[in-house]
Structure 1
Amino acid sequence: MNGNRYYGVRVEGAKYGVGFGSALAMAISYPENHSILWAIVHGILGWLYVIYFALARS
């Protein structure tokens, strides 16, 4: 029973992390590119765009 609870917490955490990464990528992309299409593409790519943005800015 204890193993199932741990698994459920991991799945929920991963689900919220993916959603947050996509929203963050879209929020960063639109002001930078002024394009809804690019914001959607970056939202689909999620964390890859967030990491690229962080590395490109430094």
Structure 2
Amino acid sequence: MDNKKASAGITFGCALAIAISWSAWHSIWWSILHGFLGWIYVIYYAIQYM
């Protein structure tokens, strides 16, 4: 059961990173890269731009 929660959190982090990246840069390549980074990019974006 814990593996499902962790997997859902990782998946959500990747989707959130892709959405933020697309809205900020409008580039599929940046979106792919930031999707791989996941929560790291989300936290970076929150600190840097908010």
RMSD: 0.7
Match of 2:34 among 12, 30, 42: 42
| Count of residues paired in the alignment | 50
- Structure 1: gaps (5+ residues): 1-8
Amino acid at match of 1:40: I
Aligned-residue identity in percent: 50
Alignment correspondent of 2:3: 11
Higher relative contact order structure (alpha carbons within 8 Å, sequence separation ≥ 6):
2
Tell me the TM-score normalized by structure 2: 0.93
- Structure 2: gaps (5+ residues): none
Q: Which has the larger radius of gyration?
A: 1
Structure 1 residue runs of 4 or more that deviate by more than 6 Å after TM superposition: none
1:32 aligns with 2:11: no
Tell me the TM-score normalized by structure 1: 0.81
